[in-house]
């Protein structure tokens, strides 16, 4: 059964006080909970947040299902998201995603058997002029990626 840490709970309470409506605190609360739950938001997480935030589970689920940055199933330690929106797609984003999936023996969105990686395609990551771009976990962005750079990264990530 998922429970936020004392620190996580405190941060969620602070967000609840900061915003005019409780619903505005759902996104930051989901970020905290996802991080504390190994990178994904399980039904247990939603139930716990609903209790802590005193909000119906449906309100949390609406936000959870709308935003792609929240994972609805377990992900590997390194969640590599490859942008395949217009600029990145034109610069080879789909080829990179296909290449990496084939190298790791997974399909899009699947976790490797050793739990190291999940590869997914993402919408625009906000740096179209340095396409193709990838994101690793929450805040690591890498620009101008090619197959050699991808190989180097995958070899480094344990």
C-alpha to C-alpha distance for 4 and 49, rounded to whole angstroms? 8
Does the footprint of ligand FES cover residue 88 (CB under 6 A)?
Answer: yes
Least distance CB 127 / ligand FES (angstroms):
5
**String of DSSP letters for 41-76:** --HHHHHHHHHHHT--HHHHHHHHHH-TTS-SS---
Does the footprint of ligand FES cover residue 145 (CB under 6 A)?
Answer: no
Least distance CB 93 / ligand FES (angstroms):
7
C-alpha to C-alpha distance for 149 and 113, rounded to whole angstroms? 23
Least distance CB 142 / ligand FES (angstroms):
11
Does the footprint of ligand FES cover residue 85 (CB under 6 A)?
Answer: yes
Q: Which two tokens stand for residue 84?
A: 């395949």
Helix (H) or strand (E) run with residue 143 in it = none
Does the footprint of ligand FES cover residue 69 (CB under 6 A)?
Answer: no
C-alpha to C-alpha distance for 87 and 118, rounded to whole angstroms? 23
Binding-site member from 52, 128, 142, 154 for ligand FES (CB under 6 A): 128
Does the footprint of ligand FES cover residue 83 (CB under 6 A)?
Answer: yes
Residue 127: burial class (beta carbons within 10 Å; 0-12, 13-18, 19+): middle
> Which of these ranges, 24-32, 46-54, 127-135, 144-152, lies near ligand FES under the rule CB under 6 A?
127-135
Q: Yes or no: say if 114 and 79 are a contact pair by the CB < 8 Å rule.
A: no
Does the footprint of ligand FES cover residue 86 (CB under 6 A)?
Answer: yes
> Which of these ranges, 11-19, 43-51, 81-89, 106-114, lies near ligand FES under the rule CB under 6 A?
81-89
C-alpha to C-alpha distance for 85 and 141, rounded to whole angstroms? 15
Does the footprint of ligand FES cover residue 125 (CB under 6 A)?
Answer: yes
Q: Kindly list the residues in this chain that would bind ligand FES in the complex (CB under 6 A).
A: 83, 85-88, 124-128, 131, 133
């Amino acid at each position: 059964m998922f429970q936020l840490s004392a620190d996580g709970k405190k941060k969620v309470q602070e967000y609840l006080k900061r915003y005019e409506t409780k619903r505005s605190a759902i996104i930051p609360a989901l970020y905290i909970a996802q991080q504390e739950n190994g990178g994904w938001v399980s039904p247990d997480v939603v139930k716990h947040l609903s209790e802590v935030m005193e909000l119906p589970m449906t309100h949390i689920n609406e936000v959870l299902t709308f935003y792609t940055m929240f994972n609805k199933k377990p992900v590997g330690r390194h969640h590599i998201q490859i942008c395949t929106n217009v600029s990145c797609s034109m610069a080879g984003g789909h080829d990179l995603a296909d290449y990496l999936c084939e190298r790791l023996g997974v399909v899009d969105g699947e976790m490797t058997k050793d739990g190291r990686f999940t590869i997914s395609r993402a919408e625009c990551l906000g740096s179209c002029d340095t396409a193709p771009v990838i994101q690793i976990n929450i805040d690591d962005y890498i620009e101008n990626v090619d197959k050699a750079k991808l190989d180097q990264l995958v070899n480094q990530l344990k």
